[in-house]
Amino acid sequence: MPRAASSKLFLAAYAPLAVLRFARVVSALALLPLEAAKTRAQRSVLRRYAEGLTASTLDEIARGPVVTRLGLSADDSYCTRDEFTLLTLVLQGKVSEADLAECRAAFTVLDARQLGRVSIEDLELARQTRLLRVAPKLRKRRLRRLRKSFGEALNTTRDLAEDWFPHWKTGRRDRDAEEGGAAGSDSELEGFK
């Protein structure tokens, strides 16, 4: 047991780090058999299909139970390279069914025409939809800014504005007296709406 203060300080810092490092080494050693088993299982999936195409393998990859559950096959008579790749990744455990569902949901958002493929037409449709959704908000914002700037200009140059826009002058002084003399109100800006 160390007696000096510096030795105790060193031991206090070193001991927890040594324990953590030892735990990491032990866990890595414990995972080696599991990793080896996982690698063997992944290779067995590929070996099963690498032996060559038979009627049973075509049936399994084109319309097997996993393929139908995941909705991978577009046609029961054949299997595309992408469908085969997804099937083997799922069978190997590299991609989960939940991951596949998330990817499909993201693709559905991108596929505006719902044709199963994304193209320039989908991009244009998404852009037009976005513009249609945003355009009214932008128009309202611009009108508010214009009304505000004209209202401020009218407040500061009320007499000049009455000379420039005589149609606003009609009945204006009576309204201002009733409202307490508030100039630049929304009723004055009816022509801009």
Position 98 pLDDT exceeds 80: yes
pLDDT at 23: 92
Mean pLDDT for all residues in the chain: 76
pTM for the whole structure? 0.47
**Which amino acid, residue 165?**
F
Q: What percent of the chain has pLDDT over 70?
A: 73
Q: Are 107 and 114 in contact (CB under 8 A)?
A: no
Position 143 pLDDT exceeds 50: yes
Q: Using pLDDT thresholds of 50, 70 and 90, give the confidence band for residue 177.
A: very low
In the chain the first and final C-alpha atoms are separated, in Å, by 88
pLDDT at 21: 93
Both tokens of 56, joined, read 């049973």
Q: What percent of the chain has pLDDT over 90?
A: 5
56-70, 95-109, 128-142, 173-187: range with lowest mean pLDDT: 173-187
pLDDT tens digits, residue range 9-62?
Answer: 888 888 899 999 999 999 988 888 888 888 888 788 778 777 777 888 888 888
Q: Using pLDDT thresholds of 50, 70 and 90, give the confidence band for residue 167.
A: low
76-80, 95-99, 175-179: range with lowest mean pLDDT: 175-179
- Higher-pLDDT residue of 56 and 190 is 56
Structure-derived torsion over alpha carbons of residues 119, 125, 128, 134, reported in degrees to the nearest 10: -100
Of 113, 105, 108, the closest CA to residue 129 belongs to 113
Q: Which is it for the CA torsion 62, 63, 68, 73, positive or negative? A: positive
